[in-house]
Each structure stands twice: as structure tokens, then as C-alpha cells.
Amino acid sequence: MRNFEPFLENTMKNSLIKRLEGTLYHPFIYSGYQRDIDLSNYSVLVINFANLDECSDQLELNKVISMALALKKPLVLLNVEDGRVLSKILGIGFMGKCIIVRPYSTYNVFNVLGLGGDVMQECGQADVTQDDTGNRCFSVEDTNMCECECQPTQCQSFFENLCVADQVRMIEAILESDFKVPQGLCPPAPGSTPADLPESQFRLNYLAIEGMWNLSDQQVTNNSVIMEISLIASFNPKYKYLRIRSVGAGFNPANGAPMENDSTYDRGYFQSHVQIHMQPNTTLLKTLSTEPKNVNKQAQYTTSSEFNVGVDIGKNPTFSSSYTISESMTTVVSDFNIYNNGAGITADWDFDLSLTENSIWDIFDEEFLKKAKVKPLPALATKNLQTITEAVWYSDNTVNDVIGVQLYWKVDHFHCYVTGDWASYTEHYTHKWRTVGFQGTPVNINFGSVNA
């Protein structure tokens, strides 16, 4: 019997191309080598890598993509299988069902559609009985982890699970939006940003790592982290620096709306833990700094780093011979503690809700001869939590390798509630979490794209 799966997959890929061709305003659909391509009259370049050999077609891909970016034309790249090849063209690259690249004057913005990980669920309960003297019998039961079925209606970020019309609408929405550099990343003054260096010495890209899904029938979580990726070459000292900073809208368990449940005996889903992870897969880099360090019981914190970059003024006489790259960001972190778990070249942070970081059972308030309550939650557990972090690595400035970097975040959500009466009640929780980003398939960064 014929296997129809490859046939159906190719049909879906081609139907997306056809729908984009009929919906987007004047797109150029690249189908391989063509003599004398002129993109000036087109609005967007669309490339389906499933129809190409990324390695053998790299030279022609480089030409047409470079032409589009020079003309400030956005790219829609479909079914990219080799992030290393893409990094040779764009400076950074990764696998993706759909990658949208929007060029700006000194940087590119990347949106990768279809990012997501397994949705996990763990349910637990504590049966509590008490007599009329207040003596309690407490029995805790934590069920084993189980993987939940991830349906398209539940996983709004799973691009490949959407119908073609919804995929096109998602692509259109990004192409029509205007990216603004997050306020925390705006340079405070000239001379403190890589954009003041010769063009060959810096690469600046913004990568959106986003996830939006249903925690329940009525509550949608919306999470957005922007990774600023700066690659900088220095003439003296003779280093190449890689700086990655996480900012963005942050983590919002109810997408700006109230939680589905927020009463004395029932609260959730709320966020209790966020992890930010950055890890180069190489021995060629050394860590210069990771920020923030541990932050406990503070209302806000500041991240900052500083390093010197030199310019060969013999080749670039209009520039200064030395620049100090020094920028800082401050954010609110009340009711969350931050733990810097970095070691070696790994940069890793945990943002833990102080109320529950020792045990989820600490959220229940057990009063004498009364039914237990669920304690009120601080604002950042129920609304927008920004996780601002920064890591800087360096290598010898002769390094020209393509280096893979794991970049991802994880968020934990809980729903906690109490049933029963004062004499015999049960405390319950439901735990869901997801990891989103580039873990098994890293972001590939081409260190050969900068030189000094």
C-alpha cells in the first residue's frame, strides 16, 4: 500500500505557498536560480526550503536573501532544516517551519513560528481532617507526571497544527507589525552601542521566543521574550564578544485578563516559576559576566556589563580607537526571588515566587477550626512578569566557527483550590509547565560574520 504521508505533507506545504502567493501583497516566490532577479518591485521574499538543497544552493540563496535585505524587504522562510547554512547567510540561523525576518537599518528581527514543548500536568491533593480541638491529620498525595494531549485548539503557538488560512493570518500579522526595540534595550547615549562601530565589527539581531496557549477553557497564557543577540569583534583587545540579553513583554498567565479563578478558596492559574537558559555548545568561549546575580527580597534589580572594543583606525580613520560597551537595565521583581545558576559557560536563572518556592502547599492558609484558604497572590504572579537577564562571552578574535547556543525559557503554572468544610477539607493543586525555544536544536551564530 502506498504511503500517503509524504504526499500529504508536500501538499500542505505547497498549499501554504499558494495561499501566501494569493494573499500577500506582491510577494516574490523564489523557486531556485533565476537570472537577473529584481526584487525592488516586490514586497516580500518567500522561500520554501523544502524544494531546495540548502547546501548546494547556498551561493544563490545568499545572493537573493542579501538582495532582499539590502532593499529592506522582509523574508518568509519555510521548512528550514539546516540552521548552520542559514547562519552563513544571515549571521544567525535555526531550524523552523516558518521563520520571518524583518530588516531594519542596523539589525534584523526574527520571529520563528511553531515553537513549543510538551505540556505537562501534575495533580496533587492533601486530605485534612480535624477534630473539635483543632488536631489535624494531614495526608499528601502527589500523582505521577503525565503528558497531556496537545490539541491544535489548546496550543495556539503550534504553527504546524493550524489550518493554512490561520497560518497565513499569523504570518500577515507579523509582517504588518512594526518592531520597536524594547525600552530597556534602548542605548542611553551615543558611543555605548555596537551600532557606533564599523559595520564589519558588529552583528545585531532580535529573536522573539514566544508562546501562547490555553491553560484552561477560559484562561490563555501569553508569554513573550525578546533575545537581543550582539556579536562584536574587537581589534584591541583581540576578542570577539557575544552578548545575549532577554527582555520583552514577559510572562502573562491570563493574557492581561483576570485569572479564571481568584477567590478565597480557589486561585489560578498563576505563575510560580520562570527559567531563562542560555548555553553555548562549544569550548571556544569563556564567560565574561552573567547578570543578575542572586536577588532576594528586593523590589527591583539592575543588570549591567562593561567591556572595551577597539577599532583599527588605520583602516577606519573616522572612528575612535576604543569604545566602552556599557549599558544597564532595571526592572521590578517584587515577591519573586532570582537565583543565578550559571556555571562555566552556562547562563541560567530561576525566577521563583517567594510564597511557594519552598513548597506549593505553603500557599494554603490553615486557620484554627476553619476551612483552609488559598492565600492572596501578588501582582507579578497573576500579571506581567519581565525576566531581564544578560550574559557576555568572549573568544579569540580569530574564531570564525558557527557556534550553537541553547536559548529557551520555561514557565510553571498552578491552580490551587480547597473543597470540603472546616472539619474535613481537601487542598488541591494542578501544575502545568512548558519549555519554549531552542533546546535540542540550538540557535546557530556565525562568528565569521564579524571581524576586526
In a domain, 270, yes or no: yes
- From residue 17, alpha-carbon distances to 8, 75, 83, 99, 404 in Å are 14, 13, 21, 14, 30
Please indicate, yes or no, whether residues 107 and 56 belong to a single structural domain of this protein. yes
Distance CA 229, CA 290 (A): 14
Please indicate, yes or no, whether residues 272 and 404 belong to a single structural domain of this protein. yes
Predicted confidence at residue 143, as pLDDT, reads 65
Please indicate, yes or no, whether residues 302 and 416 belong to a single structural domain of this protein. yes
For residue 90, count CB atoms less than 10 angstroms from its CB and return exposed for 0-12, middle for 13-18, buried for 19 or more.
buried
Please indicate, yes or no, whether residues 145 and 253 belong to a single structural domain of this protein. yes
In a domain, 71, yes or no: yes
In a domain, 181, yes or no: no
Predicted confidence at residue 35, as pLDDT, reads 77
In a domain, 176, yes or no: no
What is the domain-level CATH number for residue 231? 2.70.240
Predicted confidence at residue 379, as pLDDT, reads 95
Please indicate, yes or no, whether residues 101 and 131 belong to a single structural domain of this protein. no
In a domain, 394, yes or no: yes
Find the helix or strand (DSSP H, E) in which 444 lies. strand 424-446
Predicted confidence at residue 144, as pLDDT, reads 56
Distance CA 203, CA 263 (A): 49
- Measure CA of the first residue to CA of the last residue in the chain; give whole Å: 59
Please indicate, yes or no, whether residues 138 and 13 belong to a single structural domain of this protein. no
Predicted confidence at residue 249, as pLDDT, reads 87
Domain count across the chain: 2
Distance CA 23, CA 168 (A): 8
Predicted confidence at residue 59, as pLDDT, reads 87
* DSSP assignment string, 316-381: -TTS-SEEEEEEEEEEE-TTEEEEE--BTTBEEEEEEETTTSS-GGGGEE--TTS--EEPP--HHH
Grid cell, residue 59, equals: 551561493
Please indicate, yes or no, whether residues 300 and 413 belong to a single structural domain of this protein. yes
In a domain, 395, yes or no: yes
Residue-wise pLDDT tens for the chain (452 aa)?
Answer: 444 344 334 544 578 999 999 999 999 999 887 778 899 999 999 999 988 877 778 888 999 999 999 999 999 999 998 899 999 999 999 998 899 999 998 899 999 998 766 678 899 999 998 888 888 888 988 765 444 433 333 333 467 778 899 999 999 999 999 998 886 665 544 444 566 889 999 999 999 999 989 999 999 999 999 999 999 999 999 999 999 999 988 999 999 999 999 999 999 999 999 999 999 999 999 999 999 999 988 888 989 888 999 999 999 999 999 998 888 888 889 999 999 999 999 999 999 999 999 999 999 999 988 999 999 999 999 999 999 999 999 999 999 999 999 999 999 999 999 999 999 999 999 999 999 999 989 999 999 999 99
Please indicate, yes or no, whether residues 229 and 363 belong to a single structural domain of this protein. yes
Q: Which domain holds residue 240?
A: 120-150+202-449
Predicted confidence at residue 195, as pLDDT, reads 62
Q: Of 93, 112, 131, which residue is a domain's last?
A: 112
Please indicate, yes or no, whether residues 96 and 142 belong to a single structural domain of this protein. no
Please indicate, yes or no, whether residues 385 and 285 belong to a single structural domain of this protein. yes
In a domain, 424, yes or no: yes
Please indicate, yes or no, whether residues 208 and 59 belong to a single structural domain of this protein. no
The two counts, helices (H) then strands (E), for the chain are 5, 24
In a domain, 52, yes or no: yes
**Residues 102, 109 contacting (CB under 8 angstroms):** yes
Strand-pair category, 220-233 with 202-214: antiparallel
Please indicate, yes or no, whether residues 104 and 128 belong to a single structural domain of this protein. no
Query: CA triplet 254, 258, 261: central angle to 5 degrees?
Result: 95
**Residues 446, 108 contacting (CB under 8 angstroms):** no
